[in-house]
Chain A
Amino acid sequence: MEVFMKLLENFQYIQWQHVAMWVIGGILIYMAVAKEMEPTLLLPMGFGAILMNLPVAEVGTGVQAVINALFSIGIDYHELFPLLLFVGIGAMIDFGPLLSNPKMMIFGAAAQFGIFFTLFVASIFFPELKDAASIAIIGAADGPTAIYVAKMLGSNYIAPIMVAAYSYMALVPLVQPPVIRLCTTKKERLIKMKYEGKDVSRTTKILFPIVVTMIVAVFAPDAVALIGFLMFGNLLRECGVTNSLSDTAQNVLANLITIFLGITIAARMRAEEFLQIETLIIMGLGLVAFVVDTMGGVMIAKLMNLFLPEGKKLNPMIGAAGISAFPMSGRVVHKMGLEEDSSNFLLMHSISVNVSGQIASVIAGGLILALMGGK
């Protein structure tokens, strides 16, 4: 009997907060499996949330100690996991469409408006500027950048920021279309843009990651780690002599880091840290960031159209692809173009804008760090 009671002793440690976190973990797993929303991250995060909230006599022992150790090594220690993931992302991105039409970079910058707007709004709710800035970076629509900035600034809300960032990235196909429709007229959405794909030499493609790293080092020195690893991955892809390394970075490395990153973030999903009213506010502010990002990109395109002659006008929808969520955002805009007119192909334009958003979001992250004085 005593042995039996010993087996059940953990029951006494179950609290309603644990159950709430299991439900949250379950929702994340459901979103990943049933809705296929960012499954590679939401699934490990959901399961990690359950692991971190199992009833134990002593908090931080057993499996929780292992996850905490992963957090120490992978995130606490020089933000290793997000940076390594950036090598994989860099190897996946083809900057060719952007290099063939560099003017599209304007939209990458424009669509970062949500970050800076949210920074101001978040400062109303959160007393510490480091928290407001970390929440604002959800608008970068880029998980590794959000983790890196929040960690560097020492935010108290890393877990909710991560959950918001990845959830909204997964929800881009639902969040962006209504905002784009709200900001544009039918006539604007029907504008066709001619794609003049120019040849981009191999030398240009090789020089690009090197030059970008150097320019970012001047403008946003705090972003060098992020942009450096991103561009290192891209250099592996474009140099043409390290194809096996590029393949490894794109597949093995990116997948391996993703597995551990998701479950590691769960280290900060303990009930006492996560179940706060601030989590709901952060989710709300994250949505604001995504919406304003989208509006910023679209509005700049509309503004540019005022000065462009007929025949050269831009379809303002492509501005929305300037948020970094790559490649979802580019595809959303392309699909919307096809829905309006089945012969309107915006993919090459929207992908150009989308990759420029990737660079812009990293620069914005670095600037936030510089302005807030990250460690």
Chain B
Amino acid sequence: MFLASPAVEGISKADALVAAILGYAVVFVGLILLMIVVIILGKSMVKAAKTKKEAPATVAPTVTDDATAPGSAGEVKLYDVPDRTAAMLMAIVAEKTGRPLNELRFKSIKEVKEV
């Protein structure tokens, strides 16, 4: 029966405390390392894309557009729509459809102006 076992005393609790502190610290270190890698990866990709654009024999811009995967708000093309309004619209669509935002694909948001 638990609580009555001699194994509860001393070493188990001490082990648990050490494991808890160590584990939490390592999760932090791991995630910070991952964050650094992602930042470096992102920057190197941006740099590579810039170099590609600056090169004389550039590929048509539409190819670059196609090269980005659709799916996140950062890739939505906005036509005369402020960021804030776009975020609001996307949140409303996500709410009304009952689907998380990351499962929805917004390609562009355009204001339809009355003539």
Q: A345 touching B8 by the CB < 8 A rule?
A: no
User: Which of A100, A120, A125, A240 has the most chain B CB within a 10 Å cutoff?
Assistant: A120
Instruction: Tell me if B94 and A347 are in contact (CB < 8 A).
Output: yes
Q: Report Cα–Cα, A200/B68, bound state, in Å.
A: 7
Contact with A along B70-100 (1 / 0, CB 8 A): 0111111000000110011011001000001
Q: Which of A3-11, A126-134, A312-320 contacts B (4 or more CB under 8 A)?
A: A126-134
A195 at interface by CB-CB < 8 Å: yes
Given the complex of chains A and B, what is the CA–CA distance between A205 and B70 in angstroms?
11
The reply to whether A120 and B74 contact each other, CB–CB distance below 8 Å, is no
- Is A112 touching B94 in the complex (CB atoms < 8 A)? no
Interface size grouping (class) on chain A: 35 or more
Contact B102–A219 (Cβ < 8 Å)? no
Expressed in whole angstroms, the Cα–Cα distance for A345 and B45 within the complex equals 29
Q: Which residues of B contact A331 (CB under 8 A)?
A: 100
B41 touches A347 (CB 8 A): no
A133: which B residues are within 8 A, CB to CB?
A: 19
Complex formed: what's the CA distance from A97 to B47 in Å?
20
* Docked-complex contact B91 and A334, CB < 8 angstroms: yes
A201-B49 contact, Cβ under 8 Å, with A125-B2, A371-B22? yes
B72 pairs with A200, CB closer than 8 A: yes
Chain A min CB distance to B21 (Å): 7
Flag whether B107 is at the interface (Cβ < 8 A).
no
User: For the complex, is B58 an interface residue (Cβ under 8 Å from A)?
Assistant: no
User: In the complex, what distance in Å separates the CA atom of A96 from the CA atom of B76?
Assistant: 12
Q: Contacts A125-B3, A345-B88, A363-B27: A215 and B74 contacting too (C-beta < 8 A)?
A: no
Within 75-126 of A, Cβ neighbours of B (below 8 Å) are at 92-94, 96-100, 102-103, 105-106, 108-110, 112-113, 115-117, 119-120, 122-126
- Binding-face segment, A39-47, A48-56, A158-166, A206-214: A206-214
Q: Would B20 and A116 count as touching, CB distance under 8 A?
A: yes
- B-side interface size class: 35 or more
Chain A residue numbers with a CB within 8 Å of B29 are 219
Max chain A Cβ within 10 angstroms of own Cβ: one of B17, B45, B94, B100: B100
Within 8 Å CB of A124, what residues of B? Answer: 8, 13
Judge whether A219 and B37 touch: CB under 8 Å.
Answer: no
The one of A200, A208, A360 that contacts B31, using a Cβ cutoff of 8 Å: A360
Q: Looking at the complex, which one of B2, B3, B20, B73 makes contact with A197 (CB distance below 8 Å)?
A: B73
Please, what's the 1-or-0 string for A118-152, where 1 marks a CB less than 8 Å from any CB in chain B?
01101111111100110000000000000000000
Known: A128-B7, A219-B30. A119 touches B87 (CB 8 A): no
Task: Answer whether residue A278 sits at the interface, using C-beta atoms and an 8 A cutoff.
Answer: yes
Asked, given contacts A128-B7, A200-B42, A240-B69, whether A363 binds B102 with beta carbons under 8 Å apart, the answer is no
A102 to B43, CA, bound (A): 12
The reply to whether the CB of A368 lies closer than 8 angstroms to some CB of chain B is yes
Contact A204 B45 (CB under 8 A): yes
Main secondary structure of the interface of B (DSSP, over half): helix
Which of B12, B35, B68 contacts A127, CB < 8 Å? B12
Query: A347 to B101, Cβ gap below 8 A?
Result: yes
Whether the pair B38, A99 counts as a contact (CB closer than 8 A) is yes
CB pair B34 A105 closer than 8 Å:
yes
Q: Residue B51 at the A interface, CB < 8 A?
A: no
| 26 residue pairs A–B, Cβ–Cβ below 8 Å | A94-B71, A96-B102, A100-B72, A100-B74, A102-B39, A103-B35, A116-B21, A119-B23, A123-B16, A127-B3, A127-B8, A128-B12, A198-B74, A199-B68, A200-B74, A208-B41, A211-B37, A278-B2, A327-B102, A331-B100, A345-B88, A345-B91, A347-B91, A347-B101, A360-B31, A363-B30
A contact residues vs B (CB 8 Å cutoff): 92-94, 96-100, 102-103, 105-106, 108-110, 112-113, 115-117, 119-120, 122-129, 132-133, 195, 197-205, 207-208, 211-212, 215-216, 219-220, 238, 240, 278, 327, 330-331, 334, 338, 343, 345, 347-348, 351, 355-356, 359-360, 363-364, 367-368, 371-372
Cβ-closest 3 pairs across A and B:
A197-B74, A96-B72, A123-B16
Chain B residues in the interface with A (C-beta under 8 A): 2-3, 5, 7-8, 12-13, 15-17, 19-24, 26-35, 37-39, 41-42, 45-46, 49, 67-69, 71-76, 83-84, 87-88, 90-91, 94, 100-103
